[in-house]
Structure 1
Amino acid sequence: MTEARDIRVVAAGFLFFVGIGGAGIRNALGWWGWGAAIAAATVITIVWLVRERPRPRLPYSLIAWLALSALSLIWSAYPLSTLMGVGAQWLAVLFAIPMAATLSRAQLSIALGAALRWILGLSFLFELIVSWFVRHPVAPLWLGIDWEDSLKMHQWSRNVLFVDGKIQGIVGNSTALATVAAVAVIVFAIQMVDQWNPRGKRTWDTGWLVIAVGVVLMTRSAGVLVALLAAAAVLLLVLALRAATTRRMRITIAAVAIAAAAAALIAVTFFSEQLLGLLGKDSTLTNRTEIWDIVIGVADDRPVLGWGWVSYWTPWTEPFTDLVTINGVVQTHAHNAWLDVWLQLGIVGLIVFAVFIIRTLIRAWFAAVDRRRLSRTIEAPYDATSVLPLLVITLLLVQTASESHLLVEGWWLVLATLAIKLKTDALRDPARL
């Protein structure tokens, strides 16, 4: 329990909450309130860095990605927007450094879990208040109190808790809330089975796990459900490899996994319409194919280096001014992280980002399937938290096919934290990459 009471864990929980719940802070407190939260997070991070002077090991591929996004200021079609996007991206990495360099995996799990509980808990409370007392849709504070004058895309709550249950929570988007809940399922499940978790605390974690699963089901996000299934498949593979006692058993398990992946690829290729029907989606993937066609056309005008980094699109600058409008809603990202990377940083950006993701996945894989060495001849037992980076990254990576959340704000903070943590731990343990 001392780890849970560590002031650094509390600070990390706040940083995760500001990152992942940023939209909720903006909706509730306005842009000035969100700015104050970012300022507080920055001060906490700087004090943390000054006091502890950590020695993190940033992956070279992450450094290359940060450098490329900053260099895009040179050729950006919207330098001011690029400067803002780069600043936000680098600030998130700054937040990640002390967390990754000074906290254990268990402490990171506790901090992330605390942030997710606050977001889910406040989301339920908010939607309950709207449905019981307000009884009409609610707009974010920064749009003012006149709902009739606000845009459909800016609905904070649609007042549907007792109608169809597809709530948006404090983050104001059902898919974003579903992603929070899906990551929470992974974190809470790992905490529930962690051998160091007190028995009484496990009951608490079980309750929150039920809540997280409930939110995933209520939000009915097909992309999130597919991502959770992918994470579950990866978990089964890891557990099977951990249980294997011989090299032959591992080869057999690997062969079965490859065959299953091939079967899934064939199913997606030849039976996509039937699978989409099972998920309640049409062939346009809720208009995503239209968005992708437009983005591909614009990206093809600057295919090598892109238009310049921006993260979320800024609709007040070209080429994003009314670039994509679906059912009256102005889109602010490509709904595909890889297309967004190509649009903003071109083929070069795709290569750099792919290398970063692959290297991070490799480190996460070996952290999950290999035991940590205590000495040259002694290995530590497996622990539950060692699979957390792999499962979270898998879930977020699968989601990149339909969302761009991995590139911005909270999930970029989570990815950067895990990448730096994995690299730092790997260098401390020569048996790892």
Structure 2
Amino acid sequence: MAQALATTGIALAALVFPLQQLIGWPGLIAALVTLLGLMGTSFVARREHLEWRGLLPISLLAYLVWATCSLVWSQYQWATVGGLAYLLAFTLVGLYIALSRDTIQIVRAFGDVLRVVLVGSLVLEVLSGIVINAPIPALGAKGGIALLQPIAALTSARDQLGLLAVVAAITFATELRTQSVRRGISILSLTVATACIVFTFSPIVAGATVVVAVAAALIYVVRRVPVERRRMLQLIILGLTIVALIAAWFLRGPIVRLFNASGVLNFRLELWQRIVAAMGTQGTALQGTGWIGQWQTQIAPFSTLDSASRPTNTALNAFVDVWFQLGIIGLVLFAGMVGLTFSRSWLLAGRRRSVVYAWPAAIMIALGVLSLAESSILTEFAWMCFVICCLKASQELSWRTALRRPTT
């Protein structure tokens, strides 16, 4: 039952868009509530076999508490109530998966779901663009694959499909290295994930893929170095990363042209400037306007930020979005939570013998890079992935592990 619920939870998070399009928000909420009820029943039945003390990281709890506190000063309290309930629901899904399954079982569950989702996306795009030559709006298929236009079937946008494809590529590579799936299936799955990444034609996804590939190579090197030399190597990698970030800042123009991302960047810069101006006008820089998650553009202040020519339901940057909704305090909590989770995951990837421990680190890198140009990490599938990585990293490297009661 735990395996079935974990797989169902991942599938529901990955397929929120088509489910909402097909059965509406009432149907999606009903499915989510039913899933949480079954997970709660399973958790209670297995409570004696689950060790959760010291697992829930304080950084995650602090962030969720601050988001809940924003209800007090929110300018749209009913929307904040709904946004908090939605955030908590996917937090609980991630919590159950992290508690009930070990890392390799989680990887296998992600692999099973994402294989179906990506193959389904490609099939829908081929059906829409070549067979019937007409878009299928309810499923996100625009029918442009025959003209080499971006694809986004089963998701709301090409960057969302790219996120699923990058997570899938990391997962399939982990399955291949751990030999948990037959080699032929793993290679075919990686091919499908690569095809989805390419056909999104997204400079953001392309950049994230390059960073993840470089990080994976570094993890491979760290794992091959003798234990006594790893600390020095980690410091060298940290130094090189800082130098690379500084160089990337000064060379941002050529990099943007390389990925053909000038239009994407200009739109985001204009949006961020409007957000900064709105924050200054309302005087909410410290505490934010109140949590909402994905924007509801029919209510202020989001109605004044939405562009008629290119509508958006996020700030297209997770850090800007958190600052806008939860203020400077929320931004500090969010950045600390993400940084701590990544640090723990990276250290685990280098210390543990099994290659499966590299999966959370690679996922965190992908989410971190994409969060600079998208706000996906704040809700639904990406948030669930983050919660799983956060809990697994805390489980292995939490200072509160010493407080656990000894088992007999």
Output the CA distance in 2 between the equivalents of 1:317 and 1:351. Answer: 26
Output the CA distance in 2 between the equivalents of 1:108 and 1:101. Answer: 10
8 Å contact from structure 1 (residues 166, 220) kept in 2: yes
**Alpha-carbon distance, 1:286 to partner:** 5.2
8 Å contact from structure 2 (residues 142, 153) kept in 1: no
Equivalent position to 1:408, from 379, 382, 387: 379
Output the CA distance in 1 between the equivalents of 2:108 and 2:399. Answer: 22
Q: Which amino acid letter does the alignment assign opposite residue 344 of structure 1?
A: Q
Q: 2:240 maps to what in 1?
A: 260
Which sections of structure 1, spanning at least 5 residues, go unmatched? 1-6, 142-155, 372-381
Structure 1 residues 425 and 102: alpha-carbon distance in aligned structure 2, compared to 1, 3 A threshold:
farther
Q: 1:272 maps to what in 2?
A: 252
8 Å contact from structure 1 (residues 334, 403) kept in 2: yes
Which sections of structure 2, spanning at least 5 residues, go unmatched? 403-408
8 Å contact from structure 2 (residues 129, 142) kept in 1: no
8 Å contact from structure 1 (residues 322, 330) kept in 2: no
Structure 1 residues 420 and 294: alpha-carbon distance in aligned structure 2, compared to 1, 3 A threshold:
same
**Alpha-carbon distance, 1:410 to partner:** 1.0
Q: 1:145 maps to what in 2?
A: none
8 Å contact from structure 1 (residues 113, 188) kept in 2: yes
Does structure 1 residue 178 correspond to structure 2 residue 156?
A: no
Q: Which moved more, 1:16-25 or 1:32-41?
A: 32-41
Q: Which amino acid letter does the alignment assign opposite residue 299 of structure 1?
A: M
Alignment length, in residue pairs? 396
Q: 1:124 maps to what in 2?
A: 122
Output the CA distance in 2 between the equivalents of 1:37 and 1:321. Answer: 30
Output the CA distance in 2 between the equivalents of 1:130 and 1:23. Answer: 18
The residue matched to 1:304 in structure 2 has which SS? Answer: coil
Q: 2:406 maps to what in 1?
A: none
Q: Which amino acid letter does the alignment assign opposite residue 193 of structure 1?
A: R
Output the CA distance in 1 between the equivalents of 2:332 and 2:203. Answer: 28
8 Å contact from structure 1 (residues 294, 324) kept in 2: no
Q: Which amino acid letter does the alignment assign opposite residue 374 of structure 2?
A: E
For the aligned residue pairs, the C-alpha RMSD in angstroms reads 2.1
Q: 1:81 maps to what in 2?
A: 79
8 Å contact from structure 2 (residues 94, 388) kept in 1: yes
Output the CA distance in 2 between the equivalents of 1:109 and 1:429. Answer: 26
**Alpha-carbon distance, 1:283 to partner:** 6.3
Structure 1 residues 311 and 249: alpha-carbon distance in aligned structure 2, compared to 1, 3 A threshold:
closer
Deviation string 1:240-264 (CA, Å, 9 cap, x unpaired) is 222112645752x345424532442
Output the CA distance in 1 between the equivalents of 2:307 and 2:363. Answer: 31
Output the CA distance in 1 between the equivalents of 2:401 and 2:321. Answer: 36
Q: Which amino acid letter does the alignment assign opposite residue 32 of structure 2?
A: I
Output the CA distance in 2 between the equivalents of 1:388 and 1:308. Answer: 33
Equivalent position to 1:362, from 343, 366, 386: 343
Structure 1 residues 217 and 205: alpha-carbon distance in aligned structure 2, compared to 1, 3 A threshold:
same
Q: 1:341-356 alignment to 2 at 5 Å? A: 341-356=322-337
The residue matched to 1:42 in structure 2 has which SS? Answer: helix
* Segments of 4+ moved more than 4 angstroms: 427-431
Output the CA distance in 2 between the equivalents of 1:286 and 1:52. Answer: 51
**Alpha-carbon distance, 1:428 to partner:** 10
Does structure 1 residue 308 correspond to structure 2 residue 290?
A: yes
Q: 1:202-351 alignment to 2 at 5 Å? A: 202-245=183-226, 247-248=228-229, 250-251=231-232, 253-254=233-234, 256-282=236-262, 285=265, 287-300=267-280, 301-325=283-307, 327=309, 329-351=310-332
Q: Which amino acid letter does the alignment assign opposite residue 202 of structure 1?
A: R
8 Å contact from structure 1 (residues 299, 346) kept in 2: no
Q: Which moved more, 1:229-238 or 1:63-72?
A: 229-238
**Alpha-carbon distance, 1:125 to partner:** 2.1
The residue matched to 2:303 in structure 1 has which SS? Answer: coil
Matched residues, percent identical?
Answer: 25
**Alpha-carbon distance, 1:409 to partner:** 0.9
Does structure 1 residue 52 correspond to structure 2 residue 46?
A: yes
Structure 1 residues 255 and 101: alpha-carbon distance in aligned structure 2, compared to 1, 3 A threshold:
closer
Output the CA distance in 1 between the equivalents of 2:390 and 2:184. Answer: 31
**Alpha-carbon distance, 1:138 to partner:** 2.8
Q: 1:100 maps to what in 2?
A: 98
8 Å contact from structure 1 (residues 27, 170) kept in 2: no
**Alpha-carbon distance, 1:360 to partner:** 1.0
8 Å contact from structure 1 (residues 97, 417) kept in 2: yes
Deviation string 1:174-208 (CA, Å, 9 cap, x unpaired) is 1100110011110000101105x25xx22111101
**Alpha-carbon distance, 1:427 to partner:** 5.1
The residue matched to 2:290 in structure 1 has which SS? Answer: coil
Q: Which amino acid letter does the alignment assign opposite residue 101 of structure 2?
A: L
8 Å contact from structure 1 (residues 101, 424) kept in 2: no
Output the CA distance in 2 between the equivalents of 1:89 and 1:291. Answer: 24
8 Å contact from structure 1 (residues 273, 283) kept in 2: no
Structure 1 residues 395 and 326: alpha-carbon distance in aligned structure 2, compared to 1, 3 A threshold:
farther
Output the CA distance in 2 between the equivalents of 1:75 and 1:249. Answer: 48
Output the CA distance in 2 between the equivalents of 1:38 and 1:430. Answer: 32
What is the TM-score normalised by the length of structure 1? 0.86
Q: 2:405 maps to what in 1?
A: none
What is the TM-score normalised by the length of structure 2? 0.91
Q: 1:16 maps to what in 2?
A: 10
The residue matched to 1:321 in structure 2 has which SS? Answer: helix
Q: Which moved more, 1:16-25 or 1:79-88?
A: 16-25
8 Å contact from structure 2 (residues 57, 391) kept in 1: yes
Q: Which amino acid letter does the alignment assign opposite residue 278 of structure 1?
A: L
Deviation string 1:150-184 (CA, Å, 9 cap, x unpaired) is xxxxxx22210211142111113111001100111
The residue matched to 1:325 in structure 2 has which SS? Answer: coil
**Alpha-carbon distance, 1:268 to partner:** 2.0
